[in-house]
Amino acid sequence: MKNIILLILAVFILLSCGEKKDHQETNTSLKPRVAVVNYPLNYFTIRIADNIVDVVYPVPGDIDPAYWEPEPQQVELYQNADLIILNGADYAKWIEKVSLPKRKIINSSLAIKDNYIKLQEGITHSHGPKGKHEHKGFAFTTWLNFKYAIIQAEAVKDALIKLLPDSKDNFEKNFSSLKNDLENLDKRMSEISLNISEPIIASHHVYQYFAEGYDINIISVHWEPTDMPDEIEWEKFDKLLKANPTSIMIWEDEPVPKLEQELLKREIQVVVFNPGSNTPANGDFLDLMKTNIFNLGEI
């Protein structure tokens, strides 16, 4: 009889532990989910919300989020989120092809929509494994003007406060810290830009807001860091260089050695300025932008 009672007690304890564990897992799953479309917004949201929300960002690290095409199960992650934060300026075309609950959506760059930069023409080239695609509509790397990045971060903060008003003080405090970091980036970049008197050639059309924000003359081509341009492309480049003498070319990533050697023959210095659209291999958004600014300041 005693053994039976002990057995019943043991079963009861095990069931109780299981219920407690299930309850804890349920509590974790009840944390609001905030879905974002690119890494800068992912970083801003994490900095502001801390651990109060779960940030949903399912874009693979080797794909440009602007041209990512989510699978149905990934679209579901956005549909089921409590808040969906977009970049605006035509970023992430897939959004137009799926049904997302409008009441959950905020455009983080809405406050600067009158300052969106319209692309002059459709531009076809490739980013990563997804192959060729076309740039048209508006330029969308808004966050590279750090003043705009602050505006986008503030929009994230305001949306989080609306979602979780009881956490307003935490959000305000964390945003203030983030804003200070972004202001320091803006200040340093403004200082460096005063020393840039020559035009800069860029490997891609992704630096429009950066150029405008810091009054830098940037002329873009359509080159990939992994691909060696052919003779015709080099001829076009030399004509461009003759019309716009410069010693600087900025790249999203380090170009292959052979390409860099050809540029050095033309006395062109390679400067990596990664826009930070997707998760960096090392560090975070702030680290990446500090590195970008340092690289540009070294020329």
What separation in angstroms does the CA of 62 have from each of 86, 101, 187, 281? 20, 28, 31, 10
Report pLDDT for 135: 54
pLDDT at 239 over 70: yes
> What's the whole-number mean pLDDT along residues 132-153?
88
- Measured in residues, the chain has a length of 299
Residue 283 burial by CB count (10 A; 0-12/13-18/19+): exposed, middle or buried?
exposed
Q: Which residue has the higher pLDDT, 149 or 21?
A: 149
Residues 125, 127: Cα–Cα separation, whole Å: 7
> What's the whole-number mean pLDDT along residues 69-96?
98
Report pLDDT for 134: 56
Q: Please give the structure tokens belonging to residue 37.
A: 């479309």
Report pLDDT for 22: 35
Q: Which residue has the higher pLDDT, 155 or 134?
A: 155
> What's the whole-number mean pLDDT along residues 58-82?
97
Q: What is the mean pLDDT of the chain?
A: 90
> What's the whole-number mean pLDDT along residues 120-129?
51
pLDDT at 74 over 70: yes
Residues 7, 87: Cα–Cα separation, whole Å: 59
> What's the whole-number mean pLDDT along residues 220-240?
97
Count other Cβ atoms within 10 Å, centred on residue 166: 8
pLDDT at 216 over 50: yes
Report pLDDT for 15: 44
> What's the whole-number mean pLDDT along residues 150-159?
99
Report pLDDT for 121: 61
| Measured distance between the N- and C-terminal CA atoms of the chain, rounded to whole angstroms | 86
> What's the whole-number mean pLDDT along residues 142-170?
99
pLDDT at 254 over 50: yes
Report pLDDT for 120: 80
Tens of pLDDT, residue by residue over 255-298, are 999 999 999 999 999 999 999 999 999 999 999 999 999 999 99
E strand intervals along the chain: 33-36, 54-56, 83-86, 105-107, 123-126, 132-135, 200-202, 218-220, 248-251, 269-272
> What's the whole-number mean pLDDT along residues 52-68?
97
Percent of the chain with pLDDT over 70: 85
Tens of pLDDT, residue by residue over 88-122, are 999 999 999 999 999 999 999 999 999 999 998 64
Q: Decide: 61 and 129 in contact? Cβ < 8 Å.
A: no
Is pTM beyond 0.75? Reply is: yes
Closest CA to 139 of 209, 187, 215: 209
pLDDT band at 299 (very low <50, low <70, confident <90, very high): confident
Tens of pLDDT, residue by residue over 9-50, are 444 444 444 433 333 333 355 899 999 999 999 999 999 999
Q: Which domains does the chain have, with CATH numbers?
A: 30-183 (3.40.50.1980), 187-297 (3.40.50.1980)
E strand or H helix that includes residue 270: strand 269-272
